[in-house]
Amino acid sequence: MYPVSSLFQRAIQKNTREFYYTGTITTTKGMVYSFDNSILVKGSGYLTNQCTGTEEMGIGSVYAGECGLSLYLEVDRYTLFGAAVQLFFHLKLEDGTYETVPLGIYEVAEANRTIQCVEVKAYDYMLRFDKVFPEEYLSLTGTPYELLHIACRECGVELAQTEEEIAGMSNGAERFGMYLENDIQTYRDLLYYIAVVVGGFATINRRGQLEIRSFHNQVCDVLPDHLRFRSNFSDFSTAFFGVSFQNAKTNALEEVYTERESGLMLELGTNPFIQSFSRYSARIERLRAILKALEKIKYIPFDASIVSNPAYDLGDVIRFTGRHADEEGISCITGYTYHINGTHEIKGVGKNPRLAKTASKTDKAIGEAKSASDSNKMAVYHYINPYGFQIASAKTLIATILFTSKLETQALFYASVLLESHAREAVTVVTVTYQLDSQEISDFQPMETYCDGKHVLELFFPLQVRGNQASRFEVYVMASNGSVEIQEGKIRASIFGQGLVASEETWDGMLYAEEEVKQIQIENNTISLETYGIMDTRTCVMEHPNPKEVKEEVEELTILPTVQQLKLTEWKSFMEIE
């Protein structure tokens, strides 16, 4: 809410009040045109803006405010393009003085001339951020404030908040990188993703500055029924109990929840700043910070026509009283249309949590289209041999590719192998054998004959794979009448097809461990890792599991007063239960 005096608040709620509007239009060449109520065409002026979608509450919005005016003004309409429009509201107070409230700064995008007047349509400075985002900035790193500062500097807009104010928001003090595979095309796209990670929305304030606002639950004003011409209220409150993020690498959802038993799940989609964290735990930590910013949201959706109050702004929390209003609940202004010399339309949107699990016809259509799109995506798994091979009569494994399919589909294996043949006789015979999930494919075993020298072995095989399964494809080679040599990095193989996915959630047999090390000390070419005073030696060995099953019948169990002890004489072990 724009800060106004208590005298203004009392005067704006009176049944009768005295006010007027003024404004200026400043062209790009410095020509200034002033106007007041006498020049404004009655019922023509309006201001409109919003901070969420038209139906559901969300974060990250970057909507532009719009201003429309019709003026009895003799001016060449072609000179108005890009001109700055400023509006002011003046209200007479009890002491006879006037208090002024600015209504914003807008830039003319369209001007039409009629016989008597000129019609102007203008937008706030948010449109300046539609400037193309340069490719060299795709590797930017920084805190939200630093990234916002760069965007404002490049687009010629002042940032309203200080570094300390931005740092106080959710994730505001974190340093973010930018995942390279993103859809950021303009600085406005950049603002959207920044607003999401700090759990708020971006808007242009009345001074023409970029401002990032968070949703809150502090009541700014109370609206009794005598200040409303019309009002509708929902019988539910909109609140969030979870946040989900779509991993751009795996296409999987990563979710966090609160302790609430009911509410809405806010779907963030992809985000290059959250995606820039490679560790799952780091991404979840960012999501929890966003969810914490949403905990204050518990708003009753509404739609009301009220006595105009130009001090109201986007994100203001209002309590309605009287008649059918829920006086215990609060509502948030997510959109408005302010009619100059007329009424004031405000609304707060939100979805019913009880219907959150019910997909609409549009949601179902989008889901079906997404499923069809995912099934048509082409996934590719690559393999390059990390070391060389000396192959003779023994069957040697030269390539292993692990892949996952979510649909029953056909995949294609292709490989190009650079080898050198050493024949004992006229030619060396090379035999290739395939295995799919440890099952040898015996009906198709390619054979090639090579004389001495370097050659290229080209391999191709179609694979029929089942859905929702992780598979292993292996290639074995053996040579007779000689030997072949394959050097490191000379095998390039791939499996590709539609319906395949590269999921980080599918275990590929690798175990990853990480430990935070405070200090690494190097003495006499020896590295010792010291963490909290614990010395540790790390070794790596290859172990082959040898499962054993032990069964034993227990006829009697002696229970002592404090300890139950089961003696297994043969294994010399015991179990204690306190």
Which tens digit of pLDDT belongs to each residue from 145-164?
A: 999 999 999 999 999 999 99
Nearest to 342 by CA among 302, 310, 314: 310
Query: Per the structure block, which two tokens stand in for 261?
Result: 């038993």
Q: pLDDT higher for 139 or 575?
A: 139
- The CA distance from 64 to 368, in Å, is 32
Question: Bridge partners of 559?
Answer: 564
Which of the residue ranges 40-49, 197-206, 516-525 has the most confident prediction, judged by mean pLDDT?
197-206
Q: pLDDT higher for 361 or 469?
A: 469
343 pLDDT above the threshold of 60: yes
- The CA distance from 56 to 61, in Å, is 12
The per-residue pLDDT for range 8-30, each reduced to its tens digit, is 999 998 888 999 999 999 999 99
Q: pLDDT higher for 303 or 511?
A: 303
Nearest to 59 by CA among 208, 265, 202: 202
Query: Per the structure block, which two tokens stand in for 83?
Result: 């001109």
Using a pLDDT cut of 90, give the percent of the chain over it: 56
What is the pLDDT confidence band of residue 311, given thresholds at 50, 70 and 90? Answer: very high
- The CA distance from 71 to 45, in Å, is 9
pLDDT at 203: 96
DSSP 132: B
Q: How many CB atoms lie within 10 A of CB 148?
A: 26
What's the average model confidence in pLDDT over 296-322?
A: 93
Report the alpha-carbon angle 49-51-54, nearest 5. Answer: 85
166 pLDDT above the threshold of 90: yes
Query: Per the structure block, which two tokens stand in for 364?
Result: 């179902």
The per-residue pLDDT for range 71-104, each reduced to its tens digit, is 998 888 889 999 999 999 999 999 999 999 999 9
What's the average model confidence in pLDDT over 497-502?
A: 76
Domains and CATH numbers, the chain: 378-501 (2.60.120.40)
Q: Reduce the secondary structure of 152-180 to three states and give it as a string.
A: HHHHCCCECCCHHHHHCCCCCCCCECCCC
- The CA distance from 86 to 206, in Å, is 9
**CA-based end-to-end distance of the chain:** 62
What is the pLDDT confidence band of residue 570, given thresholds at 50, 70 and 90? Answer: very low
- The CA distance from 155 to 149, in Å, is 10
Secondary structure of residue 271 in the 3-state scheme: coil
pLDDT at 18: 93
| Beta strands across the sheet bearing 344-348 | 32-36, 19-26, 84-92, 98-113, 118-123, 66-71, 46-50, 335-339, 344-348, 302-306, 228-233
pLDDT at 4: 94
Residue 556 CB contacts under 8 Å (≥ 6 apart), including other chains: none
pLDDT at 125: 95
What is the pLDDT confidence band of residue 571, given thresholds at 50, 70 and 90? Answer: very low
478 pLDDT above the threshold of 50: yes
Using a pLDDT cut of 70, give the percent of the chain over it: 83
pLDDT at 566: 43
CA 302 centroid distance within chain? 28
User: What does pLDDT average to over the chain?
Assistant: 85
pLDDT at 162: 93
The per-residue pLDDT for range 415-450, each reduced to its tens digit, is 999 999 998 888 999 999 999 988 999 999 999 999
pLDDT at 249: 82
Length of the chain measured in residues: 578
The per-residue pLDDT for range 391-422, each reduced to its tens digit, is 999 999 999 988 888 778 889 999 999 999 99
- The CA distance from 29 to 100, in Å, is 27
Is the Cα dihedral 94, 100, 102, 107 positive or negative?
positive
Nearest to 53 by CA among 45, 62, 44: 62
pLDDT at 567: 43
Element (H, E) at 366: helix 361-375
**Strands annotated E in 424-466:** 428-436, 439-441, 447-450, 453-465
263 pLDDT above the threshold of 90: no
572 pLDDT above the threshold of 50: no
pLDDT at 550: 62
- The CA distance from 440 to 398, in Å, is 15
8 A C-beta contact, residue 329 and residue 44: no
355 pLDDT above the threshold of 90: no
